[in-house]
Amino acid sequence: MTPLRERMLQDLRIRGRSKNTQKSYLERISQFARHFGQSPDQLGPEQIRAYQIYLLEYKGVSIGQLRQFVAAARFLYGTTLEREWTIQKIAYPKQPQTLPEVLSEEEVRKFLESILNVKHRAIMTTIYGTGARVSEACQLSVRDIDSKRRLIRIREAKGAKDRYVPLPSFLLQTLRTYWQKFRPDTILFPGRRRDRPIATRHVCNVCVKAARAAGIPKHTTPHCLRHSFATHMLERGANILDVQAILGHTSLKSTSRYLHVSSKAIATAPSPLDEIMRQPGSEKRA
């Protein structure tokens, strides 16, 4: 590891960035350096701009991937290298405000029932039943399950914050069935090695296969299950502040977008049309 890479890693750790963020930022900067064949501290705004154009026009990366590179570059040059030009010279692309993909409650039931593997069903039930991110579910330990209080502790989640999420009765029974068969020691959902968590990529692949087996045409991912959980909670009358706390959102704005995909909320929202057409004389005018 080069001294610059080590220093950037230390800066990320000091600021409490998650392991996923550390890995992502270092990978993005490493790719940037390899593209020009130079150390990042020898590159500047012009090379960053050229690389952004390369990513968009030649690599065809998504806006999300481009934003990851920009965030990593801003951290490197602004925090680690302390370059004064950082914020002004590195353009931050706007993220399109698209609505998340959401499964219906019936589709969730079919999805979970289609998973025959006990371990896979347990982790998918955990993701939907708690609204946890896939990385959070994979990192759970056996001691995080508090069956008496009906809570699950999510440790060092996004933003390096712990939080509690509910432990529904069905999920508790699912986890007990799983534990009786696999008897995990420390990590709740280990991978091939019992001392390491299951890979998020593997969980994503399981998700895709389960959706296909259930006959669900939607693009179903672990994050889609999280979106579905939040939407169904709001549709069932949950307080939006409670949903915000369960999801671990810092801003209420992040949670409120689920109101836009709640079919029940939209369908029952009063429209002025009905009230207008009930007024006297409306039938004659029609």
Closest alpha carbon to 222 in 213, 211, 212: 211
Active site residue 219: no
Active site residue 258: yes
Structure tokens at 109: 């039931």
Active site residue 260: no
Structure tokens at 197: 């968590």
Active site residue 54: no
How many angstroms separate the CA atoms of 160 and 246, rounded?
Answer: 15
Catalytic residue among 74, 226, 227, 232: 226
Active site residue 13: no
The three-class DSSP label of residue 197 is strand
Active site residue 249: yes
How many angstroms separate the CA atoms of 60 and 116, rounded?
Answer: 37
Structure tokens at 138: 């994979």
Catalytic residue among 121, 158, 227, 232: 158
Structure tokens at 281: 């004389």
Taking CA atoms, 169 is separated from 125, 148, 173, 198, 263, in Å, by 11, 11, 6, 24, 26
Residues in the chain: 286
Catalytic residue among 7, 155, 223, 257: 223
How many angstroms separate the CA atoms of 227 and 262, rounded?
Answer: 10
Catalytic residue among 133, 163, 227, 232: 133
State the catalytic residues. 133, 158, 223, 226, 249, 258
